[in-house]
Amino acid sequence: MDNQCVNVWVDDPCGLSLYASTYEKKIQCHAILIEKNILHHSPTASGASLIEEDYELTFQLEDGKKRSFLVWPMVFDSVCCGEEGILKYKGDDLISFGKHIKEFDLN
């Protein structure tokens, strides 16, 4: 079963049609961290010398699919390729990964 977000048209009580996303379920499965990448890019159209970095982790899921997530630098540094565990995520958000990345909530 594919649990990706599905975009749908929704009619509100005022008769306006809204483009909205359906609920994304939390997914939990066994995974192996197979790749770590630091992505460099310039955030401005002018190509100024300011360079930003995104930290990406790529996992091989138990069904053979690959799934990548952008994470904070401290999360990126806390794991190594080849580590295995239960991966929990919701949409594009990594929630936790085995004993290596613990669930964190800002609320």
pLDDT of residue 16: 45
pLDDT tens digits, the chain, 107 residues: what are they? Answer: 344 444 444 444 444 444 444 567 889 999 999 999 998 876 666 655 666 889 999 999 999 999 999 999 999 999 999 999 999 999 889 999 999 898 876 55
The alpha carbon of residue 55 and the mean position of all alpha carbons in its chain are separated, in whole angstroms, by 11
Please report, as a single letter, which amino acid is at residue 76: F
Query: Is the distance from CB of 41 to CB of 50 less than 8 angstroms?
Result: no
**Half-sphere exposure of residue 25, counting CA atoms within 13 Å on the CB side?**
7
Query: Is the distance from CB of 9 to CB of 17 less than 8 angstroms?
Result: yes
**Half-sphere exposure of residue 24, counting CA atoms within 13 Å on the CB side?**
15
**Half-sphere exposure of residue 106, counting CA atoms within 13 Å on the CB side?**
0
